[in-house]
Amino acid sequence: MKIAVSAVGNTLEAQVDRRFGRCAYFLIVDSETLEFDAFSNEASSAMGGAGIQAAQMIAKKEAKVVITGNVGPNAYGTLSAAGIEIITGASGTIREAVEKYKKGELKKTGAPTVKGHFGMGGGQGQGRGKQR
Amino acid sequence: MILSIASGKGGTGKTTVAVNMALSLENVQLLDCDVEEPNDHLLLQPKIEETFPVYVRVPNINLEKCDYCAKCAEFCAFNALFVANKQIMVFPEICHNCGGCTIVCPRKAISEKRRKIGRVKKGFADGVELVFGELSVGEPMAVPVIREVKRQMRDDRNVIVDSPPGTACPVVESVYGSDYCVLVTEPTPFGLYDLKIAVEVIEKLKIPFGVVVNQAGIGDRKVYEYCKENQIPVLLEIPYSRRIAELYSSGIPFVLEMPEWREKFQELFSAVERRASG
């Protein structure tokens, strides 16, 4: 089974990126063999709808599970619609997160864990309050 | 003549300058493009003669025709469409209303439906025709409402465009097409910082511009030094004055009580006309 993990780097030893839509990389990891492909996340610089774009990419890669730190409402809605299981609150390296998931130590979330624009740092997001 | 009044910083006095200038001139149309917080009507108290809704067009999916090919989602630069697992989702608040998805859909499964995002009001007060927009609460995109306000522009009048603060899309939409732009600032570090950003934007748009310093007398001289170094004309100073502040806080345009200021605004407008044509 393919698991998508948001990551700050492009190896299994990289840390889990706690942002979903605007994370640096996605690793698509085979849960059995731990073979993986790393993709730099094009949605990280999206003008808007980064969570939606990232979810679209992950659905296309046919991942069945997403492991990340937090998901916003649009990422949650789209991943759920795509039938993808969403695991939040993950930390440590990608390898550790996948191992923990396999042991059943990570819980799936039934709701968004943050509001929109969570991963946008101090900057103003598209359409948040006044557009500046 | 189309004159826009802008500023990087909020609260510098754009509305004060726009309204008082409008009241000092003949044959004026004032467009309040600060559609998130239009204030010109509070000072002018116009009789509203016309109100109409502003719609944007967002995709409407015909699920009988859609085969979930996702070409629409791939096309959308703003990710307003999502397709996976034989499902399609539309995010109308993110949609920038370009209509591209309806064109790229190979099965013609996408039509457009109207979505109301605000309204435009028109009225008259003291000979000034005022047009202003109101963006509905919770709507993230001001630009379509600003566009509708500007569509009411008349070419047989002097037009004053009161821009929202800031330097992003709503400001660009407001000042675009102006013959001249007046940047209102205050002589403080905050005013200066935001003025510099606003200058960058107006220079990119290639609109001739000058500065009006409001609340002159407070703060420091750095705004003046910056303008001098960069050969930006300081067209008018409005002093930090108790009388002006009192009138403002009662919602009264100060030219109505201080008629000597009409002439100063007329001179400002003449100076702007000269600079715009020269």
Q: Does B80 touch chain A (CB under 8 A)?
A: yes
Q: Do B135 and B253 fall into the same domain?
A: yes
Q: Do B84 and B180 fall into the same domain?
A: no
CB–CB of B94 and A49 under 8 A? yes
Q: Does B123 touch chain A (CB under 8 A)?
A: no
A115: DSSP letter: -
Read off the amino acid at residue B210. G
List all residues of chain B from 170 to 189 with a beta carbon under 8 Å from chain A. Answer: 170
Question: Which pLDDT belongs to residue B256?
Answer: 96
Q: Do B231 and B252 fall into the same domain?
A: yes
Question: For residue range A104-130, what is the model confidence (pLDDT) as tens digits?
Answer: 999 888 888 888 777 766 543 343 333
Encode B224-255: b = buried (16+ Cβ within 10 Å), e = exposed: bebbeeeebeebbbbeeeeebeebbeeeebbb
Candidate from B73, B82, B141 with C-beta closest to A127: B141
Question: Which pLDDT belongs to residue A28?
Answer: 97
- Among A92, A89, A93, smallest CA distance to A113 is for A89
Tokens of B85: 């697992």
Show the domain range for B202.
2-54+117-277
Q: Which residue has 């995709």 as its token pair?
A: B59
Q: Does B142 touch chain A (CB under 8 A)?
A: yes
At residue B250, the 3 state secondary structure works out as coil
CB–CB of A130 and B164 under 8 A? yes
How many beta-carbon pairs below 8 A join chains A and B?
Answer: 70
Distance between CA atoms of B126 and B107, rounded to whole angstroms? 55
H-only helix segments in chain A: 50-60, 73-81, 94-102
Q: Do B31 and B128 fall into the same domain?
A: yes
Question: For residue range A2-50, what is the model confidence (pLDDT) as tens digits?
Answer: 999 999 999 999 999 999 999 999 999 999 999 999 999 999 988 889 9
Q: Do B34 and B75 fall into the same domain?
A: no
B147: DSSP letter: H
At residue A105, the 3 state secondary structure works out as coil
Asked if the A2-102 domain carries CATH number 3.30.420.130, the reply is yes
Q: Does B169 touch chain A (CB under 8 A)?
A: yes
Mean pLDDT by 10 residues, chain B (278 residues): 96 97 97 97 97 96 96 94 93 93 97 96 96 94 96 96 96 97 97 97 97 96 98 98 96 96 97 91
Asked if residues B9 and B186 have their Cβ atoms less than 8 Å apart, the reply is: yes
Candidate from B94, B142, B167 with C-beta closest to A48: B94
Q: Taking CB atoms and an 8 Å cutoff, what residues of chain A touch B34?
A: none
Q: Does B103 touch chain A (CB under 8 A)?
A: no
Min Cα–Cα distance to chain B from A42, Å: 12
Query: Residue ranges of the domains in chain A?
Result: 2-102
Question: Which pLDDT belongs to residue A123?
Answer: 41
Number of structural domains in chain B = 2
Question: Which pLDDT belongs to residue A46?
Answer: 86
CB–CB of B73 and A50 under 8 A? no
Specify the CATH number for the domain of residue B269. 3.40.50.300
B111: DSSP letter: E
CB–CB of B87 and A82 under 8 A? yes
Candidate from B36, B77, B84 with C-beta closest to A82: B84
Q: What is the ipTM of this complex?
A: 0.80
- Choose the mutation target among A20, A78, A120 for the interface with B, i.e. most B CBs under 10 Å: A78
Averaged pLDDT score across all residues of chain A: 88
Asked if residues B20 and B196 have their Cβ atoms less than 8 Å apart, the reply is: no
Q: Do B137 and B80 fall into the same domain?
A: no
Q: Do B74 and B165 fall into the same domain?
A: no
Asked if residues B181 and B202 have their Cβ atoms less than 8 Å apart, the reply is: yes
Q: Do B121 and B220 fall into the same domain?
A: yes
Question: For residue range A35-94, what is the model confidence (pLDDT) as tens digits?
Answer: 999 999 999 988 889 999 999 999 999 999 999 999 999 999 999 999 999 999 999 999
Specify the CATH number for the domain of residue B93. 3.30.70.20
H or E, element range at B55: strand B47-61
Q: Do B143 and B267 fall into the same domain?
A: yes
Q: Do B97 and B126 fall into the same domain?
A: no
Q: Taking CB atoms and an 8 Å cutoff, what residues of chain A touch B169?
A: 131
Q: Do B179 and B221 fall into the same domain?
A: yes
Q: Do B140 and B42 fall into the same domain?
A: yes
List all residues of chain B from 35 to 54 with a beta carbon under 8 Å from chain A. Answer: 36
Read off the amino acid at residue A21. G
Question: Which pLDDT belongs to residue B23?
Answer: 97
